Chain A
Amino acid sequence: MPIDPSFAVDGAEWAVPQVAGAGAPAGVDQGAATGTSGKGFADMLSNAITDLQDSQTQAAAQSQALATGTAKDPEQVVLAVEHARLQMELASAVRTKVTDAISEVMRTQV
């Protein structure tokens, strides 16, 4: 049964068309993805970071609007801020995982 990290490849926030549908964790199937669309892990990462940047900017703008009294919809501000926070948490969890993997490789005895 293929591993389906739906939270990573299915959500609009993390839409990764170049590796989606592979049924394998994003990045692991890099070879096949590179072969089919010419894009790989680096692109996915840069997409994700751009997305993260966007949501942070959005949250900051909405917070400022709330603080200056121009925000009409406080719920949307809360949503944007929570969105940014959760996305940042996800990104940092993935980052920790990746750095752990790298240090694991570095420790390998040869």
Chain B
Amino acid sequence: MGLFDSMGISASGLSAERTRMDVTAENLANAQTTRTAAGGPYRRKEVVLAQEPGSFGSTLAAQVKVQAIVQDGSAPRMEYDPSNPDADAQGYVAMPNVDTVAEMVDLITEQRSYEANTTAMDTAKAMFGKTLDILR
């Protein structure tokens, strides 16, 4: 295991959390979007994280990577709004299946996970610095 493996792993965690943050931001921004290129309202997206084998095979030095960004398949929220141009014959509009409150909770989780990864990275750095101090 190399010197900088732990820092590399932390960096991969930071990247993953940042991607999750991007996706959550997209979900929040599109919470009211009723038109998409694929047709219909915006569908909530979710990040799938996977373990990436490191230099030591399957478990040791394993980094995290974003494997896929998938759509939440749950049904769109039907809202009664006859004046909306996207309303159907009954006056209902298909709104995105985004729960703003749940997204905010996700946002907090991502922020804290990001902080945890930076702390791990800082600690690894400090440990290496302490090792160097032996030489001095």
Q: Which residues of B contact A79 (CB under 8 A)?
A: 4, 7-8, 11
Q: Are A73 and B15 in contact (CB under 8 A)?
A: yes
B38 at interface (Cβ–Cβ under 8 A)?
Answer: no
Contact sample, A vs B, 27 pairs, CB 8 Å cutoff:
A10-B1, A10-B2, A13-B3, A13-B4, A14-B3, A75-B11, A75-B18, A76-B11, A76-B15, A79-B4, A79-B7, A79-B8, A79-B11, A82-B121, A83-B4, A83-B7, A86-B3, A86-B4, A86-B125, A86-B132, A89-B129, A90-B135, A93-B132, A93-B135, A94-B135, A96-B135, A96-B136
Q: A13-B4, A14-B3 are in contact. Are A86 and B128 (CB under 8 A)?
A: yes
Q: Which residues of A contact B98 (CB under 8 A)?
A: none
Contacts across chains A and B counted by CB atoms under 8 Å: 49
Determine how close the nearest CB of chain A comes to the CB of B53; give it in whole angstroms: 16
Determine how close the nearest CB of chain B comes to the CB of A5; give it in whole angstroms: 10
B107 at interface (Cβ–Cβ under 8 A)?
Answer: no
Kindly identify, within residues 10 to 24 of chain A, every residue whose CB is under 8 Å from any CB belonging to chain B: 10-14
Kindly identify, within residues 72 to 94 of chain A, every residue whose CB is under 8 Å from any CB belonging to chain B: 73, 75-76, 78-79, 82-83, 86, 89-90, 93-94
Kindly identify, within residues 6 to 36 of chain B, every residue whose CB is under 8 Å from any CB belonging to chain A: 7-8, 11-12, 14-15, 18
Q: How large is the interface on B (under 10, 10 to 19, 20 to 34, 35 or more residues)?
A: 20 to 34
Q: Are A7 and B7 in contact (CB under 8 A)?
A: no
Q: Are B135 and A11 in contact (CB under 8 A)?
A: no
User: Which of B's residues lie within 8 Å of A, judged by CB?
Assistant: 1-4, 7-8, 11-12, 14-15, 18, 55, 121, 125, 128-129, 131-132, 135-136
A97 at interface (Cβ–Cβ under 8 A)?
Answer: yes
Please report the C-alpha to C-alpha distance between residue A12 and residue B18 in the assembled complex, in whole angstroms.
28
Main secondary structure of the interface of B (DSSP, over half): helix
Q: Which residues of B contact A73 (CB under 8 A)?
A: 15
Of A75, A82, A94, which is within 8 A of B14 by CB? A75
Q: Are B1 and A93 in contact (CB under 8 A)?
A: no
- Chain A residue nearest to B17 (CB atoms) is A75
Q: Which residues of B contact A97 (CB under 8 A)?
A: 135
